Structures are given as structure tokens and as C-alpha cells.
């Protein structure tokens, strides 16, 4: 067998191997992107809870719950949907934010579970 015929049998092998690995590479990138969205949603939930509690502590006593809920949803990007639950008791304000984690594209469908953020602070005296 000649040396030139041995080299010709391997032509295209790298292309075939790369094409075989392409689905695995794409799946890895998709999973990494989904984990980025999950982490960003946790960050948004925590920040929204902090903003909600801060707004409630500086608001008038009769307007605390409304200010809390409005501030919690105000800072969220339009693609993230969720709810804000605010409570006041014994001079302490708490906010719980529940956000849906989007699947691949913010603003599209969400996973059937929520990411929760929680914050609390003492009411400011007026």
C-alpha cells in the first residue's frame, strides 16, 4: 500500500467528527444560557424585594402596602412576570417576590416553578 493512499482514507474525518459533536456543543451552550437566565432571575427577585421594602419603609402608613407592591414590580424588565407580597407587622415590613424563569428567551414561556426573593426592614418613624 502506498503512503498517498493511506492519507486519502482519512480525508474528511475531522469534518464528520465535528458534525457529530455539533449537537452536543449546541446543547451545552443552550444549557449554559438557561443557567444564566436562572441566575439573573434570582438577582432580579432579590433586587425587586429590596426595592419594595425600601419603598414601603419611607411611605405613609396607609400607603405602605401599595407602595411596596408597585416598587417591587416597577424595577423588573418587561419580560419577567411575577407577584409581590408585602406584609407589615410590629414596625417591620417584609416583601416576597415570586418570578417566573423564562425558557431560553425572556418574554416567552416560563418554567412551572418560580424564583423567590425575600427582604425585610424596620419601618422609618415619621
Rounded Cα distance between 59 and 124, Å, is 9
> What residue ranges do the domains of the chain occupy?
3-122
Per-residue pLDDT of the chain (126 residues; tens, 9 = 90+): 555 555 566 677 778 888 888 999 999 999 999 999 899 999 999 999 999 998 888 878 778 888 888 888 887 888 888 889 998 888 888 999 999 888 887 767 777 778 899 988 887 766
Domain spanning 3-122, CATH architecture: 2-Layer Sandwich (3.30)
Q: How far apart are CA 120 and CA 116, in angstroms?
A: 14
Q: pTM for the whole thing? A: 0.77
Alpha helices by DSSP H, 1-126: 3-9, 13-58, 64-74
Amino acid at each position: 500500500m502506498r503512503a498517498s493512499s493511506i492519507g486519502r482514507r482519512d480525508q474528511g474525518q475531522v469534518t464528520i467528527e465535528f458534525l457529530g459533536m455539533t449537537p452536543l456543543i449546541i446543547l451545552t451552550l443552550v444549557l449554559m444560557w438557561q443557567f444564566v437566565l436562572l441566575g439573573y432571575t434570582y438577582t432580579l427577585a432579590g433586587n425587586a424585594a429590596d426595592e419594595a421594602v425600601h419603598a414601603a419603609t419611607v411611605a405613609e402608613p396607609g400607603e405602605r402596602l401599595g407602595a411596596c407592591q408597585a416598587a417591587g414590580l416597577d424595577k423588573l424588565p418587561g419580560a419577567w412576570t411575577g407577584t409581590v407580597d408585602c406584609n407589615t407587622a410590629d414596625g417591620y415590613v417584609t416583601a416576597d417576590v415570586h418570578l417566573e424563569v423564562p425558557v431560553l428567551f425572556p418574554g416567552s414561556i416560563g418554567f412551572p416553578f418560580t424564583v423567590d426573593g425575600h427582604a425585610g426592614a424596620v419601618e422609618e418613624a415619621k
